[in-house]
């Protein structure tokens, strides 16, 4: 079974460009909200999440609650409860996760924009897999009230679309007072590039073409020390009581993650929190001379669905997860064809709070890629 939406909703009154896919992690009053879990298969909230309300107030109309990885804890968006999200570009490849249904809806033309979440790459990974655009804002910029948490200090909500302008328009609806930055000249952008050597050859080549457009300077940027105990400990707090009561209704994929998370100690979480803070400080210092950092979004194109999650999880997350650790804004932008004829994706990252600048640079890079200049 393959499903883009868990629940479809009538798009009455939707105007062109305003059809919204909502990740089924956000509560919607009167509309089933499952969080991708069999436990909540018939759950109908009475209150709508703040971000969904903001989008609706701006004239966006929901066309459906998009399928996802169960409880947003995974990167394949394939669960036994609601089926696998199809990748419209390649039926044998994953759509990515956990916001897989959102990216698939965009790639298939079923929605114009989407509202997703990202705790380790869950907006950017499916955007890369499906050849769409996705933006993880600065941590805390978009409200998460009424959204099921994964690991709160890592969780972000943000826009997904088929281009940068779509992301900017939805972000403006989600964030009162947000104003896009005017077009920037690439020659005026101070850019660094890192981690291309970790990518497959054609992904690397496409991202390095973007680096040349930006005149980006190579930067030796470290990866974060392991802080998974902090992430897992926060997730364990979310699931502890629910798992005790309903462990048999979790998929084995997520149940295994919960069982491991429940063993994390407060001491391990505190040590990881200190490591994360040191990484934030070190990264901020290294990136201070630059407006944006360029990396691949993923080291490879959309992986084969038959592989399952375990063999691909670490590599798929490796280039996105660091910016959940720092809370920085990060844009996933399609940048050409790579291995197997599938899209590569470039990731543009800025300092926390520079969301509008990152998107403006992304808009200019997007235009340059389209025109070949």
Q: Please identify every residue annotated as catalytic.
A: 23, 98, 122
Pairing of strands 78-79, 61-66: unpaired
> What is the Cα gyration radius of the chain?
19
Q: Give the pair of three-digit tokens for residue 180.
A: 């896009």
Exposure of 339 by Cβ count < 10 A (0-12 exposed, 13-18 middle, 19+ buried)?
middle
Who contacts 83 (Cβ-Cβ below 8 Å, separation ≥6)? Answer: 1, 2, 3, 67
User: Is there a cis peptide before residue 304, judged by omega within 30 degrees of 0?
Assistant: no
- Contact indicator for 92, 303 with CB cutoff of 8 Å: no
**3-state DSSP call for residue 11?**
coil
Tell me which DSSP letter residue 116 carries: E
Does residue 45 contact residue 29 with C-beta atoms inside 8 Å?
Answer: yes
């Amino acid at each position: 079974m393959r499903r883009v939406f868990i629940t479809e909703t009538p798009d009455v009154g939707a105007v062109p460009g305003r059809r919204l896919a909502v990740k089924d992690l956000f509560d919607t009053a009167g509309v089933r909200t499952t969080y991708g879990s069999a436990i909540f298969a018939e759950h109908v909230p009475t209150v709508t999440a703040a971000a969904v309300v903001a989008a609706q107030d701006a004239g966006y109309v929901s066309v459906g609650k998009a399928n996802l990885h169960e409880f947003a804890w995974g990167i394949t968006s394939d669960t036994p409860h609601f089926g696998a999200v199809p990748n419209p570009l390649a039926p044998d490849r994953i759509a990515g996760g956990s916001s897989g249904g959102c990216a698939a809806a965009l790639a298939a033309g079923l929605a114009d924009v989407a509202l997703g979440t990202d705790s380790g790459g869950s907006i950017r990974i499916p955007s890369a897999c499906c050849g769409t655009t996705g933006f993880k804002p600065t941590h805390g910029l978009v409200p998460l009230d009424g959204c099921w948490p994964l690991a709160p200090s890592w969780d972000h909500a943000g826009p997904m679309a088929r281009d940068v302008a779509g992301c900017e328009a939805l972000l403006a609806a989600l964030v009162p007072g947000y104003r896009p930055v005017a077009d920037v000249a690439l020659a005026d952008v101070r850019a660094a590039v890192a981690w291309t050597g970790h990518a497959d050859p054609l992904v690397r080549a496409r991202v390095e073409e973007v680096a040349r457009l930006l005149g980006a300077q190579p930067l030796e940027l470290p990866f974060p020390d392991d802080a998974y105990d902090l992430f897992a400990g926060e997730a364990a707090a979310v699931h502890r009581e629910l798992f005790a009561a309903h462990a048999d209704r979790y998929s084995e994929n997520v149940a295994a993650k919960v069982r491991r998370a429940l063993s994390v100690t407060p001491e391990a979480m505190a040590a990881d929190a200190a490591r994360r803070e040191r990484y934030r400080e070190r990264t901020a210092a290294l990136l201070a001379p630059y407006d944006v950092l360029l990396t691949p979004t993923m080291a490879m194109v959309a992986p084969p669905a038959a592989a399952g999650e375990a063999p691909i999880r670490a590599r798929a997350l490796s280039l996105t997860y660091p910016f959940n650790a720092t809370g920085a804004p990060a844009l996933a932008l399609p940048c050409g064809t790579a291995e197997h004829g599938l899209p590569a994706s470039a990731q543009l990252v800025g300092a926390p709070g520079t969301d509008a600048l990152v998107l403006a640079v992304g808009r200019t890079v997007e235009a340059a890629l389209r025109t070949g200049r």
